[in-house]
Amino acid sequence: MEFALQGNATEYFECTDKEVLNESGARTGKTHSELVKTFYNCNTYPGSRHLFARETRKALTETVLPDWENKVLGPGHPAIGKAKRNNRDAYHWNGCDVVLHGLDAPINILSGEFDTITVFQAEQIQQATWDKLLSRLSGSAMPYRQATADANPGPAHHWLIRRAKEILCLRCSTIVEPTRTSCQACGSTSLGRMRHFQYRHTDNPLWYDWETQTWTTRSEEYIVGTLGRLRGVDRKRMLEHLWVSEDGQVLGDFNADIHCISGELSQLPGGAWNLKITSPGWEVDAKDPWKDANVILDWFGAGADWGFFPDPGVFQVWGYDRFGRRFRVVEVYKTGQQMDWWAMVAAQLYGEFKYRYIAVDPSAPALKDAFNRRIALDHKAPAIAIGADNTIRRQNPDLAGIDLMRWGLLDTNNVVRTYLLKGALRYGVDQALKSASRPTCLEEEIPAWVFDKKKSTDEIIDKPAPGNDHSLDAWRYEAGEGWGIRMAATIGKPKYPEGSAGQIHNTEEKMAKARAWRQQHG
């Protein structure tokens, strides 16, 4: 049979990289190109073995196998035989095997060896499953081995799209900076990354003719007439090919390109710290200290959220400058650590930053007291964990705590006051969370934090849905204490330069409102 491949489909057909991500919205031809490549490999390399996998065996039967049999193998192909699709384990011809597997069944393929592995709808599986499958990529019948993840766009911080952007040291598993040619940890030059193909509707010959560079008559009906009817997050993913989080984000103003910054910390005489910001997008104006690349952090606060397993514990240190901006400079995000370990972390970070308090969950006073005892008795550090101000208790989460979080990301004057320093994770990424495709830091929790919905109508409720909000809780606790209480009493009246961003922001008025709310609800 002859097959028409164009654009990304042609590049993928010729690709021999070990790991590949083929991603796009609906009907761009990526799955067809993967089936064609497997068909070619079976005809070209006798004895090769290939795996088709999807989250469930039933879904594989209903979605992938009809196209495989009807559009690629073709009617009457000897591999089809008389077996029904839902009872079939594999296709055999030319000494080759195309094995079928549903990932809802026990992983009984771990004794197998494959030359290629293709996982359809890979956005539905966890990273740990992908790694298990990758370990079976050990066939010997082809000149290369390849695992392909076929995916539709999912949440903005999905592990697949993160993996495609990372460069990994194959010796020590360190994530290597994009500008480096060797690992900063061990010096190895054995680096690997996932090849990333972004299929689009122009890659499908049904919709676009590459010879004439024109859309076909069928494209208007499907792309505009069908996909054009989609709304919200489905439209962004299926039509616009965007990796975006669900509708109803609690912190919709969060923008990683703005709020996540690169920089270097260094301590100054007297206890303050200098944060030299190196982000290319940071606006610098020599006449405006608000936009100075060297930000002086005068004092620090800390926030913590309790957790052990499967939920993590979190400890954060936030630095404040004279304009009332906050910078997350350190984060510890770990599972499986007991109270004495967290007390050690708190003591070590106090030795560095001399933070004024540790704002913790006000609903767990016994844990707070135990934490303070550990810090004081075992580590001889100040016992300064306090129950976070009750303006941010869960029964009124949007009145002060979440409002302060939103205000910090972008206020009514378009002023940003909250920044997250990249590379702030101490003790590294928690591998158990990463393998389970769960967030591993504050930046990854934010896009997935959405409002709850009524089960009967799917109507959005003005209340965050339960989920991965551990680092967010630590942020809320610290924000309520640092902005809502302490800064209001100590910042006084900073003298902003004429025309600066700080001048147009009425700090005292907003802080007075926070104090008044606290006094009323004390």
Is residue 453 within 8 A of residue 247, CB to CB? The reply is no
Fold matches, 8-174+187-214 and 256-521: no
Proportion of the chain above pLDDT 70, given as a percent:
83
Is residue 385 within 8 A of residue 229, CB to CB? The reply is no
Give the pair of three-digit tokens for residue 222: 């499907």
pLDDT tens-digit readout, 214-252: 999 999 999 999 999 887 778 888 999 988 766 667 787
pLDDT tens-digit readout, 344-379: 999 999 999 999 889 988 888 888 888 888 898 888
Confidence class for position 454, pLDDT limits 50, 70, 90: low
Dihedral through CA 89, CA 90, CA 92, CA 98, nearest 10?
A: -160
DSSP character at residue 332: E
Distance CA 228, CA 303 (A): 45
- Domain 8-174+187-214 listed as CATH 3.40.50.300: yes
Q: Where are the domains of the chain?
A: 8-174+187-214, 256-521
Give the pair of three-digit tokens for residue 468: 């991965």
Name which CATH class applies to 256-521: alpha beta
Closest by CA position to 221, among listed 229, 213, 210: 229
Taking each helix axis as running N to C, give the angle between helix 365-379 and helix 339-353, from 0 to 180 degrees, rounded to the nearest 10.
70
Could you report how far apart the first and last alpha carbons of the chain are, in Å?
A: 76
Please report the sign of the dihedral spanned by the C-alpha atoms of residue 491, residue 497, residue 501, residue 506.
Answer: positive
- Using DSSP, how many helices (H) and how many strands (E) does the chain show? 17, 24
pLDDT tens-digit readout, 141-189: 999 999 999 999 987 778 899 899 889 999 998 888 888 899 988 999 9
Would you mind telling me the total number of residues written for the chain in this entry?
A: 522
Confidence class for position 316, pLDDT limits 50, 70, 90: very high
Confidence class for position 510, pLDDT limits 50, 70, 90: very low
Cβ neighbours of residue 221 under 8 Å, at least 6 residues apart? none
The structure's pTM equals 0.60
Is residue 503 within 8 A of residue 469, CB to CB? The reply is no
**Which of the residue ranges 103-112, 191-200, 229-238, 407-416 would you say has the lowest mean pLDDT?**
103-112
